[in-house]
Structure 1
Amino acid sequence: MKITFLGTGTSQGVPVIGCNCETCQSLDFRDKRTRTSLHLEIEGKSVVIDTGPDFRMQMLRESINRLDAVVYTHEHKDHTAGLDDIRPFNFMQQTDIPLFGTPQVLDQIKTEFSYIFSNHKYPGIPRVLINEIHNLPFEVLGVPFIPVQVMHHKLPVFGFRIKNFTYITDANYIAPEEIEKIKGTKILVVNALQIKPHISHFTLEEALAFIEEIGPEKAYLTHISHRMGMHQRVQERMPKNVELAFDGLKIHH
């Protein structure tokens, strides 16, 4: 499995428009964070988790020229807004792209992108195949996914375990029965928004405590805001097995 962090930022990205804090003014490329998204190359398949507003730029930056499926964690715009940009893959591959999401997520996509699902389709619109997922194991083109339900304040969100890799974003609470699904994971990715408490995301301290509970060989933090601070300074304080992810980071597992 090859894992590429397409984006590691929060809903506003980093830098934030109009912000003059030292993180937003940083020249370190690791402090330039687009909206959170992940690319997996696994068993010959190219799968993206979430198509945020920066999806087009992310795919161009990483020279990804094939897309076999998209899996959605939840319906917020910073995770879905780039769906229209799957069109070049429709054209190149001459195929519809399967989308996987909960009924709630898919209903929101049908509302936001109603032209895709119109009875009279305009030429050149995205072509998709809808696949509902629930809190049960499922397959993405033969690749097994285990959904892990987490809470994003009061909104249920899915993280996913794929073999010994688990990816969780937009979480501030995970029930004990869902944590059991994660145990044994070798590589864990989890959101850590900032230092101070937040209503719907893990803080750095909460994320580190969760990582310690799971005990993976390696952990990465994502969905990071400018309030976390500059990448280099924060990384210096991390445990040996924990890294702040950054846009373009690649893991071979």
Structure 2
Amino acid sequence: MKITFLGTGTSQGIPVIGSTHPVCMSDDPKDKRLRVSILVECETETFVIDCGPDFRTQLLANPVNHIDGVVFTHEHSDHIAGLDDIRPFYFRQGDVSLYAEDRVIEALKKRYHYMFVTENKYPGVPTFDIHQLINKPFNLKQTTITPIQVYHGKLPVFGYRIHDFAYITDAKTIPDEELKKLEGLDVLVLNALREEPHHSHLNIEEALEIIKKVKPKKTYFTHISHYMGFHAEVEESLPKNVHLAYDNLTLEL
């Protein structure tokens, strides 16, 4: 299984528009972060988790000709705003499969009403094969995916486990029964926004406490703000089995 980090930034991305923060002015490409998404390439399936506003740019940098589905964590703009850029896949392969819980599907229908109408639909608009998720394992073709219920402040969102890899973004708290789903991981991807506390995201200290509980072999932080600091400096300060992810990083599992 191959994992590609399409984006590792928070909702504004890095650099932030108009910002003169030193990290936003950095020349290090690892300090430039698009909105969070990953590309998952299994032996028989290729899919993405979330498609935010940078989706087109991300897939031009990491080209694929076919995707078997888009799996959504939640309905915030930085995770869904690239759905219209699914069209090239639709033109080649027909209906695109979407995987999300009911609340997220309803949000997609409101935001992209022109895609979901059943009458007088505009020509060329994609159509979807919708899979409604609950907090139970499901199959994306031949790949089994286990949802992990976490809380983004008070909003319930899904992380996902695929084999011995798990991906969690936009979490602030993770219930104990969901932490059990993270046992025995080779790689955990976990959000860590910055050093200072935040009302709906884990900061770096809180994320490290979760790592101590679930003990993955290796962890990569994502959904990173410019307030975290320079990539190179933060990377040096982390435990040896914990790293900052960066855009276009690939992992082979």
Q: Compute the TM-score of the two structures, normalised by the length of structure 1.
A: 0.98
> Is the CA contact (8 Å cut-off) linking 1:222 and 1:244 kept in structure 2?
yes
> Is the CA contact (8 Å cut-off) linking 2:180 and 2:214 kept in structure 1?
no
Amino acid at match of 1:247: D
Q: What's 1:228 paired with?
A: 228
Secondary structure, aligned partner of 2:210:
helix
> Is the CA contact (8 Å cut-off) linking 1:148 and 1:181 kept in structure 2?
yes
Q: What's 2:194 paired with?
A: 194
Amino acid at match of 1:101: A
Amino acid at match of 2:213: E
Q: What's 1:151 paired with?
A: 151
Amino acid at match of 2:216: P
Aligned residues: 252
Q: Compute the TM-score of the two structures, normalised by the length of structure 2.
A: 0.98
> Is the CA contact (8 Å cut-off) linking 2:74 and 2:104 kept in structure 1?
yes
Task: Give the whole-Å Cα distance in 1 for the aligned partners of 2:192 and 2:186.
Answer: 19
Task: Give the whole-Å Cα distance in 2 for the aligned partners of 1:47 and 1:241.
Answer: 27
TM-fit CA distance, 1:65: 2.0
| Deviation sequence 1:77-104 (CA, Å, 0-9, x none) | 10000000010011122x2110000000
Q: What's 1:182 paired with?
A: 182
> Is the CA contact (8 Å cut-off) linking 1:193 and 1:204 kept in structure 2?
yes
Q: What's 2:38 paired with?
A: 38
Runs of 4+ in structure 1 over 2 Å off: none
Task: Give the whole-Å Cα distance in 1 for the aligned partners of 2:159 and 2:237.
Answer: 26
Does residue 104 of structure 2 align to residue 105 of structure 1? yes
| Deviation sequence 1:184-225 (CA, Å, 0-9, x none) | 111000000000000000001111111121111111000000
Identity of aligned residues (%): 52
Secondary structure, aligned partner of 1:247:
coil
> Is the CA contact (8 Å cut-off) linking 2:45 and 2:142 kept in structure 1?
no
Amino acid at match of 1:112: R
Q: What's 2:71 paired with?
A: 71
Task: Give the whole-Å Cα distance in 2 for the aligned partners of 1:215 and 1:123.
Answer: 50
Task: Give the whole-Å Cα distance in 2 for the aligned partners of 1:174 and 1:117.
Answer: 33
Q: What's 1:59 paired with?
A: 59
Secondary structure, aligned partner of 2:237:
coil
TM-fit CA distance, 1:43: 2.4
- What CA RMSD, in Å, does the superposition of the two structures yield over aligned residues? 0.7
Runs of 5+ consecutive residues of structure 2 not aligned to the other structure:
none
Does residue 116 of structure 2 align to residue 117 of structure 1? yes
Secondary structure, aligned partner of 1:190:
strand
Secondary structure, aligned partner of 1:236:
helix
Secondary structure, aligned partner of 1:174:
coil
Task: Give the whole-Å Cα distance in 2 for the aligned partners of 1:144 and 1:20.
Answer: 44
> Is the CA contact (8 Å cut-off) linking 2:44 and 2:142 kept in structure 1?
no
| Deviation sequence 1:159-200 (CA, Å, 0-9, x none) | 000010000000010000000111111100000000000000
TM-fit CA distance, 1:59: 0.4
TM-fit CA distance, 1:131: 0.7
Does residue 237 of structure 2 align to residue 247 of structure 1? no
